[in-house]
Protein backbone atom coordinates (compact mmCIF):
# COMPACT_ATOMS: atom_id res chain seq x y z
CA UNK A 1 0.00 0.00 0.00
CA UNK A 2 1.15 3.52 -0.82
CA UNK A 3 -0.07 6.72 0.79
CA UNK A 4 0.33 9.50 -1.74
CA UNK A 5 -0.94 12.93 -2.62
CA UNK A 6 -4.06 12.72 -4.78
CA UNK A 7 -3.51 12.66 -8.53
CA UNK A 8 -6.41 13.12 -10.96
CA UNK A 9 -5.55 9.83 -12.68
CA UNK A 10 -7.22 8.20 -9.65
CA UNK A 11 -10.48 10.15 -10.02
CA UNK A 12 -12.67 7.20 -11.06
CA UNK A 13 -11.34 4.98 -8.30
CA UNK A 14 -11.67 7.78 -5.74
CA UNK A 15 -15.25 8.44 -6.82
CA UNK A 16 -16.06 4.76 -6.33
CA UNK A 17 -14.79 5.04 -2.75
CA UNK A 18 -16.57 8.35 -2.10
CA UNK A 19 -19.82 6.93 -3.45
CA UNK A 20 -19.55 3.85 -1.22
CA UNK A 21 -18.65 5.92 1.84
CA UNK A 22 -20.71 9.10 1.51
CA UNK A 23 -22.87 8.77 -1.63
CA UNK A 24 -20.81 11.63 -3.12
CA UNK A 25 -18.57 12.19 -6.13
CA UNK A 26 -15.61 14.52 -6.38
CA UNK A 27 -16.35 17.40 -8.74
CA UNK A 28 -13.83 20.09 -7.84
CA UNK A 29 -10.25 20.90 -7.01
CA UNK A 30 -8.96 21.78 -3.58
CA UNK A 31 -7.20 25.04 -2.76
CA UNK A 32 -3.42 25.00 -3.27
CA UNK A 33 -2.78 25.22 0.49
CA UNK A 34 -4.95 22.16 1.21
CA UNK A 35 -3.92 18.50 0.96
CA UNK A 36 -5.65 15.37 -0.32
CA UNK A 37 -4.13 12.02 0.62
CA UNK A 38 -5.09 8.70 -0.86
CA UNK A 39 -4.13 5.16 0.06
CA UNK A 40 -3.59 3.06 -3.05
CA UNK A 41 -3.31 -0.70 -3.50
CA UNK A 42 -2.72 -1.95 -7.07
CA UNK A 43 -4.02 1.33 -8.59
CA UNK A 44 -7.21 1.19 -6.49
CA UNK A 45 -7.98 4.01 -4.04
CA UNK A 46 -8.72 2.29 -0.72
CA UNK A 47 -8.44 5.29 1.61
CA UNK A 48 -8.95 9.05 1.44
CA UNK A 49 -8.82 12.17 3.54
CA UNK A 50 -8.64 15.92 3.00
CA UNK A 51 -6.73 18.45 5.10
CA UNK A 52 -7.91 22.05 4.95
CA UNK A 53 -5.21 24.42 6.19
CA UNK A 54 -6.64 27.14 8.42
CA UNK A 55 -5.32 29.78 10.79
CA UNK A 56 -6.61 30.32 14.31
CA UNK A 57 -6.29 34.11 14.16
CA UNK A 58 -6.86 34.59 17.90
CA UNK A 59 -4.13 32.16 18.99
CA UNK A 60 -1.98 32.85 15.93
CA UNK A 61 -1.42 29.21 14.95
CA UNK A 62 -2.00 27.09 11.84
CA UNK A 63 -4.19 24.01 12.02
CA UNK A 64 -5.76 21.43 9.73
CA UNK A 65 -9.44 20.62 9.54
CA UNK A 66 -9.84 16.97 8.46
CA UNK A 67 -12.62 16.01 6.02
CA UNK A 68 -13.90 12.90 4.24
CA UNK A 69 -11.94 10.25 6.13
CA UNK A 70 -12.88 6.90 4.62
CA UNK A 71 -11.61 3.42 3.85
CA UNK A 72 -12.96 1.11 1.16
CA UNK A 73 -15.28 -1.50 2.75
CA UNK A 74 -13.31 -4.37 1.18
CA UNK A 75 -10.11 -3.14 2.85
CA UNK A 76 -11.26 -2.28 6.36
CA UNK A 77 -9.44 -3.60 9.44
CA UNK A 78 -6.10 -3.35 7.64
CA UNK A 79 -4.99 -0.18 9.49
CA UNK A 80 -5.24 1.97 6.36
CA UNK A 81 -6.76 4.96 8.17
CA UNK A 82 -4.17 4.64 10.95
CA UNK A 83 -1.34 4.71 8.39
CA UNK A 84 -2.91 7.70 6.65
CA UNK A 85 -3.10 9.59 9.94
CA UNK A 86 0.51 8.68 10.73
CA UNK A 87 1.40 10.40 7.45
CA UNK A 88 -0.78 13.37 8.45
CA UNK A 89 1.08 13.66 11.76
CA UNK A 90 4.41 13.82 9.89
CA UNK A 91 3.05 16.51 7.58
CA UNK A 92 1.87 18.47 10.63
CA UNK A 93 5.33 18.37 12.18
CA UNK A 94 6.99 19.39 8.91
CA UNK A 95 4.60 22.31 8.42
CA UNK A 96 4.40 23.36 12.08
CA UNK A 97 0.66 22.68 12.32
CA UNK A 98 -0.51 23.22 15.90
CA UNK A 99 -3.49 20.86 15.91
CA UNK A 100 -5.98 18.82 13.93
CA UNK A 101 -9.73 19.16 14.18
CA UNK A 102 -12.55 17.09 12.71
CA UNK A 103 -16.21 16.30 13.15
CA UNK A 104 -17.74 12.86 12.87
CA UNK A 105 -21.27 11.57 12.57
CA UNK A 106 -22.42 10.03 15.87
CA UNK A 107 -23.17 6.74 14.09
CA UNK A 108 -19.52 6.22 13.06
CA UNK A 109 -18.57 4.31 16.20
CA UNK A 110 -15.61 2.49 14.62
CA UNK A 111 -14.18 5.80 13.38
CA UNK A 112 -14.59 7.30 16.86
CA UNK A 113 -12.63 4.41 18.35
CA UNK A 114 -9.83 5.08 15.84
CA UNK A 115 -9.77 8.81 16.56
CA UNK A 116 -9.52 8.19 20.30
CA UNK A 117 -6.79 5.58 19.76
CA UNK A 118 -4.85 8.16 17.74
CA UNK A 119 -5.07 10.71 20.56
CA UNK A 120 -8.00 12.86 19.47
CA UNK A 121 -10.16 14.21 22.29
CA UNK A 122 -13.91 14.77 22.08
CA UNK A 123 -14.80 18.44 22.42
CA UNK A 124 -18.03 19.45 24.10
CA UNK A 125 -19.60 21.35 21.24
CA UNK A 126 -22.51 21.35 18.85
CA UNK A 127 -21.87 21.88 15.15
CA UNK A 128 -24.23 24.25 13.37
CA UNK A 129 -24.59 24.68 9.62
CA UNK A 130 -26.69 27.03 7.52
CA UNK A 131 -27.03 26.03 3.87
CA UNK A 132 -26.78 29.09 1.59
CA UNK A 133 -26.59 27.59 -1.93
Taking only the tens place, the pLDDT of each residue in 65-75 is 999 999 999 99
β-bridge mates for residue 120, sequence order: none
pLDDT on residue 1:
96
pLDDT at 32 exceeding the cut of 90: yes
Average pLDDT over residues 78-103: 97
For 94-107, write each residue's pLDDT tens digit: 999 999 999 998 99
Residue ranges covered by each domain of the chain: 2-117
Write out the CATH class of domain 2-117.
Answer: alpha beta
112-128, pLDDT tens digit by residue? 999 999 999 999 888 89
Single pTM value for the model: 0.93
Strand ranges of the sheet holding 35-41, from the earlier edge strand across to the other edge: 2-5, 35-41, 44-56, 61-71, 99-102
Helices (H), the chain: 11-22, 80-94, 109-117
Amino acid sequence: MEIIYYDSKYLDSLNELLNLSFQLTKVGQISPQDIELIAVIEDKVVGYLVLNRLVDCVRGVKYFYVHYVCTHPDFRNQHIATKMFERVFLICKEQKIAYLELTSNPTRIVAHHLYRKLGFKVRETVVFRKEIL
